[in-house]
């Protein structure tokens, strides 16, 4: 009976938004922020997801409304979202508006002081997916630091979190801090990017040399309309080349861990993060071959026949299988079946724990040890709970929308 009630509650959680008013990202609420941009020189952190009404780029709209955009800053994957994961992106000019685009995923990761000399107000509007190792929140943090250092006000235009209806995973430990995880939050942290920005500033989770400037720093977060953490939000634009659909976005928090192993995580296939495997796994498993394609020019195990698993299904089915939790079954099964267990995780043998990319994704060394010792999923999940509970106490202070709990 208890399981039946839980299933009914979970179903209601996701049926409710179908009858609700359309969720409006903050970028569409012009009356809330255009007065703050009037007669100001603007720099905007944006990419291909910075759209209004599902398809029109905000930069084009703001230019038509007379907003003076001095420059555009762009994150990983570039302003148009075409670059591969990890591919360095050069500066360029936006052909539509003639505005200079400065890449923050190339020679530098944050605006330099000279980049902001002719800027009065900074704006941030990027669609995130609510997962710690998705690098847009790291870019947000460094953008905030640049604004604080320059003494410039920042406006964050909030967007819904498509994975904002649960919290799960290990909390990052400080020694494992990197660009794929910079703060002590779980893998799935259940906050919009605007709420996360408020937490970064409120908890002083930025460069300690800037703490003395925080009192004078002004950050305005414009909220979404008609959104709660119970909402089911389908992205109008894929956030990056290898998250092409909602099924991939729902699986990503669980299957991105394969990036830290020798297995293919599905890049170079039609369903990245929904297909994973290796040539040395049993040949009676799902068969696939990663190939070069847009967004994955050199995928792991390119042109090699792999055997593994596919979880590619309709988003509605994926939601039921994810069930508001990280799913470790495939990672555990892959390790159990992989013949060369010493080489399952990428990294040199006997390297320091912080040198393993898997540990950077996990935010600790414990998960790798738990997989190696073949602990049960329930035991692994139990080890996360104290950190999750501490994080929830912090998170609660910065929520802007009705929570899922």
pLDDT in tens, 89-148: 778 888 888 999 999 887 888 999 999 999 999 999 999 999 999 999 999 999 999 999
314 token code pair: 């309709």
pLDDT at 38 over 70: yes
Please indicate, yes or no, whether the overall pTM of this predicted structure exceeds 0.85: yes
Q: Is 103 left (phi over 0), alpha (psi -120 to 50) or beta?
A: beta
Interval 342-401: pLDDT, tens: 999 999 988 999 999 999 999 999 999 999 999 999 999 999 999 999 999 999 999 999
Comparing CA positions, the residue from 181, 28, 35 lying closest to residue 121 is 35
Confidence band, pLDDT 50/70/90 cuts, at residue 205: very high
In-domain check, residue 356: yes
Q: Are residues 220 and 254 in the same domain?
A: no
Residue 262 has, within 13 A of its CA and on its CB side, a CA count of: 19
Q: Are residues 215 and 327 in the same domain?
A: no
Q: For residue 252, give every residue at least 6 positions away whose Cβ sits within 8 Å of its Cβ, in sequence order, or none.
A: 129, 131, 134, 163, 243, 273
Write a three-state SS string for 268-284: CCCCCCCEEEECCCCCC
Distance CA 53, CA 354 (A): 43
Q: Tell me which long-range contacts 290-295 makes (C-beta under 8 A, separation of at least 24).
A: 290/264, 290/266, 292/268, 293/268, 294/82, 294/241, 295/82, 295/83, 295/84, 295/85, 295/240, 295/241, 295/242, 295/267
Q: Are residues 106 and 182 in the same domain?
A: yes
In-domain check, residue 34: yes
Distances (CA, A) of 249 to 75, 378, 392: 19, 24, 23
In-domain check, residue 222: yes
pLDDT at 84 over 80: no
Helix (H, G, I), strand (E, B) or coil at 193: helix
Q: Which CATH number fits the domain that encloses residue 104?
A: 3.40.50.12170
In-domain check, residue 380: no
Q: Are residues 357 and 227 in the same domain?
A: no
> Average model confidence (pLDDT) for the chain?
93
In-domain check, residue 171: yes
Q: Are residues 289 and 364 in the same domain?
A: yes
From the number of C-beta atoms within 10 Å of its C-beta (0-12, 13-18, 19+), residue 258 rates as buried
In-domain check, residue 384: no
Domain encompassing residue 164: 20-235
């Amino acid at each position: 009976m208890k399981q039946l009630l839980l299933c009914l509650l979970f179903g209601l959680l996701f049926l409710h938004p179908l009858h609700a008013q359309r969720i409006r990202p903050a970028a569409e609420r012009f009356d809330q922020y255009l007065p703050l941009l009037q007669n100001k020189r603007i720099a905007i952190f944006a990419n291909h997801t910075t759209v209004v009404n599902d398809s029109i780029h905000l930069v084009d709209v703001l230019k038509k409304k007379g907003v003076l955009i001095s420059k555009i800053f762009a994150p990983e994957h570039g302003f148009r979202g075409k670059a591969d994961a990890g591919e360095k992106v050069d500066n360029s000019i936006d052909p539509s508006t003639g505005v200079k685009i400065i890449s923050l995923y190339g020679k530098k990761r944050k605006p330099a002081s000279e980049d902001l000399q002719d800027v009065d107000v900074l704006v941030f509007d990027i669609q995130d997916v609510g997962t710690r190792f998705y690098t847009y929140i790291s870019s947000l943090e460094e953008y905030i630091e640049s604004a604080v250092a320059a003494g410039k006000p920042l406006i964050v235009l909030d967007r819904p979190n498509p994975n904002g209806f649960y919290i799960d995973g290990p909390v990052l430990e400080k020694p494992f801090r990197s660009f794929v995880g910079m703060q002590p939050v779980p893998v799935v942290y259940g906050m919009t990017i605007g709420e996360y920005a408020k937490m970064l500033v409120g908890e002083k989770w930025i460069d300690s040399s800037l703490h003395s400037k925080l009192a004078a720093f002004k950050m305005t977060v414009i909220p979404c309309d008609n959104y709660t953490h119970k909402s089911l939000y389908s992205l109008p634009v894929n956030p990056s080349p290898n998250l092409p659909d909602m099924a991939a976005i729902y699986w990503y928090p669980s299957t991105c861990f394969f990036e830290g192993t020798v297995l293919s995580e599905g890049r170079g296939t039609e369903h990245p993060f929904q297909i994973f495997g290796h040539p040395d796994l049993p040949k009676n498993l799902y068969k696939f071959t990663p190939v070069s394609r847009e967004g994955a020019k050199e995928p792991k195990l390119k042109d090699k026949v792999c055997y593994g698993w596919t979880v590619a299904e309709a988003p509605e089915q994926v939601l039921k299988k994810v069930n508001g939790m990280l799913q470790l079954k495939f990672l555990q099964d892959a390790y159990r079946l992989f013949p060369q267990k010493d080489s399952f995780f990428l990294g040199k043998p006997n390297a320091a724990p912080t040198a393993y990319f898997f540990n950077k994704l996990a935010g600790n060394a414990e998960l790798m040890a738990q997989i190696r010792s073949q602990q049960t999923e329930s035991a692994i999940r139990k080890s996360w709970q104290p950190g999750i509970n501490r994080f929830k106490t912090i998170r609660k202070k910065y929520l802007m929308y009705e929570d899922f709990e």
